[in-house]
Amino acid sequence: MSAPFIGPDGKARCAWAGTAPEFLAYHDKEWGFPVVDDQRLFEKVCLESFQSGLSWRTILNKRATFRAAFDQFDFHKVALYQEAYVEKLLQNEGIIRNRRKIEAVINNAQKAIEMQQEEGSLAAFFWRYEAKAPAEPQSQTTSEESIALSKALKKKGWKFVGPTTMFAFLQSMGFINDHEYGCCVREEIEIIRKQLKRPS
């Protein structure tokens, strides 16, 4: 385990929170906090797929542009994108201009609508893959749950949803509390998780 990062307030945090200026707020306010909102869940699946082969810092710095380009990741709108808009996105220097990943977002938006109709919500589906017996924090890049989630999504026709990508999704969206022991945010998230009403 890496030495903790001591923030400006003197409190210890996960080591990675201090590796880039923009990571502190993301660590303290977003990463690992449970999410039950369908649009935010869809956005994170998309952003994690764009991250594949890149760093999260790159994606985080481009997130505002991604949101503007993809209608705030409203999957009902994204599902309607045509080839002309794909070409427009490929000219947008503020995002990752990868045709396969862009087309995967559109495909996944269409699958998200189907999932919402079948399951009632994306959240109801994704929360079935909450970690049952979490391992040592930040000790793995895949898990039993991320492997199962990846298989389930691929079976439903989703793309760019490999086990490692899905583990990063589960970590960041609070399906597992993967903050290091001793991190000041870990206890806050534990309290939220205990009070959380899981979607069904």
pTM of this structure: 0.96
31 belongs to the catalytic site: no
**Burial (0-12, 13-18, 19+ Cβ within 10 Å), 27:** buried
Q: Is the pLDDT of residue 1 over 70?
A: no
pLDDT tens digits, 100-134: 999 999 999 999 999 999 999 999 999 999 998 87
26 belongs to the catalytic site: yes
- Side-chain half-sphere exposure of 16, counting CA atoms within 13 A: 14
Catalytic residue among 16, 26, 103, 188: 26
Q: What is the mean pLDDT of residues 14-34?
A: 97
pLDDT tens digits, 134-176: 789 999 999 999 999 999 999 999 999 999 999 999 999 999 9
85 belongs to the catalytic site: no
Catalytic residue among 30, 31, 43, 48: 48
Q: How far apart are the first and last CA of the chain?
A: 36
Superfamily of domain 5-195, CATH level 4: Hypothetical protein; domain 2 (1.10.340.30)
Catalytic residue among 16, 30, 56, 188: 56
